[in-house]
Structure 1
Amino acid sequence: MEPRVTDRPEKSRYEILAAAADDDGAATETAGFAEYHLSEGEIAFIHTEIDPRFGGRGLGGLLARGALDDARARGLSVLPYCPFIRGWIGKHPEYADLVPEERRARFGL
């Protein structure tokens, strides 16, 4: 099974589900998450983490892309307090428009 990103609003985080490296792909586990705080029209990403067992597979980038694509689809402005999400947006400038223009300098974008 391909990794997939899902919103878990009851936990205020996006999770990426993936098969463990030694798994035949039948079962998935939570490989990582991006915690957020949601307020009126804004989503503030505060912490992202990938389980070391899943490292080196590009799952952090897939998680960031999935979470940001969902924020865009929902019409939310993004506040990337999390260094990983902020850095990912910096490497993918097509996502910089999600951060309000007047706040981009604060995040180095």
Structure 2
Amino acid sequence: MTGDLPIELELTGTKGRYLVKGPDGAEAEMTYTSIGESQIIIDHTMVPDAFRGQGIGARLVARAVEDARAAGKTILPLCPFAAAQFQRHPEWADVLKH
């Protein structure tokens, strides 16, 4: 079950990437850029066909929200998928950059 697959975080300087790796080698990812110490910009979400319809993309965005909240950061969702997730989850308003 893909809901059990862990979400990993890779950091490279100001760039970050949350990813889920499937047993077949497929990777779903959400990338972001850190802006200073207080904001991240989600710029891309990609979910391969092997993961479609399983909520993996939503899990990736939710993890970014959890991490941003814990770090006192805000999120600017430039990625259309992430922006749509923020519209579906008004409870994330505390981390949404206006």
Q: TM-score range by the shorter chain?
A: 0.7 to 0.9
State whether structure 2 residue 22 is matched by structure 1 residue 15: no
Following the alignment from structure 2 to structure 1, what is the Cα–Cα distance between the partners of residues 7 and 68? Answer: 12
- Matched letter for residue 60 of structure 1: G
How far is 1:16 from its partner? Answer: 2.0
How far is 1:57 from its partner? Answer: 1.2
Q: How many residue pairs align between the two structures? A: 93
The 3-state SS of whatever aligns with 1:36 is: strand
Note the residue ranges of structure 2 that are not aligned, 5 or more in a row.
Answer: none
Note the residue ranges of structure 1 that are not aligned, 5 or more in a row.
Answer: 21-28, 104-109
Q: State which structure, 1 or 2, has the greater radius of gyration over its C-alpha atoms.
A: 1
Where has structure 1 moved over 4 Å in runs of 4 or more? Answer: none
State whether structure 2 residue 27 is matched by structure 1 residue 31: yes
The 3-state SS of whatever aligns with 1:9 is: strand
Following the alignment from structure 1 to structure 2, what is the Cα–Cα distance between the partners of residues 16 and 76? Answer: 23
Contact 1:71 1:78 in 2 (8 A): yes
> Once structures 1 and 2 are overlaid, which stretch shifts more, 7-16 or 78-87?
7-16
- Matched letter for residue 46 of structure 2: E
Map 1:26-105 → 2, pairs under 5 A = 29=25, 31-40=27-36, 41-100=38-97, 103=98
CA RMSD, 1 decimal: 1.8
